[in-house]
Amino acid sequence: MRTSAKVSFCLLLMMETLIGCKPMIRNGAMVAGYRNSTCIPVRFGPGILPPTRAWDFTMTTKKGLTVRILGATMPGGRITVRYLPEGTETVAANAGDYIYPADVRLDSGSDTLFIKASGITAALSQPQTWLFEYDLNNRQQIARNRVDPSVLPEECQIK
């Protein structure tokens, strides 16, 4: 391995370690927001094998924006929000490789999405759970934190 390749590999490993070592939260506004929010309907994704959790839900916010929430628990999985009718799409949550969306909830009072993602990191093979908070009206992610999964409620049931 060339020296520059070794340095690049070491830097990548250090970044993964630093990101992976972010302290977990166990309480606070984000955890409470997720816990108190309503489940976005989840189902098995059509045409996805093996069967996996998927979201395809359209709603109107209190400010009158029509949004379509899309995503699935799969490689490359993320939760996107498509604003209708213009079709603008933003990423509400993308936890990265091997950490996939697991649950999507809505605080209808504030038009805020809470997304739980979980999996095992590629470099360190360690389980991680993340919470994302996304403001539907302002079209932006508000927060992203590692969370202790034991403090979260059960994931929403497939219907």
pLDDT in tens, 100-144: 999 999 999 999 999 999 998 877 788 999 999 999 999 999 999
Instruction: Return the CA Rg of the chain.
Output: 17
In a domain, 2, yes or no: no
Quick count: other Cβ atoms within 10 Å of Cβ 13? 12
In a domain, 10, yes or no: no
pLDDT band at 58 (very low <50, low <70, confident <90, very high): very high
In a domain, 103, yes or no: yes
Q: Residue 144 has what pLDDT?
A: 97
Q: What are phi and psi of 18, to 5 degrees?
A: -65, -45
Lowest mean pLDDT among 23-32, 44-53, 100-109, 146-155: 44-53
Q: Considering the entire predicted model, what is its pTM? A: 0.84
- For residue 62, what are the domain limits? 24-151
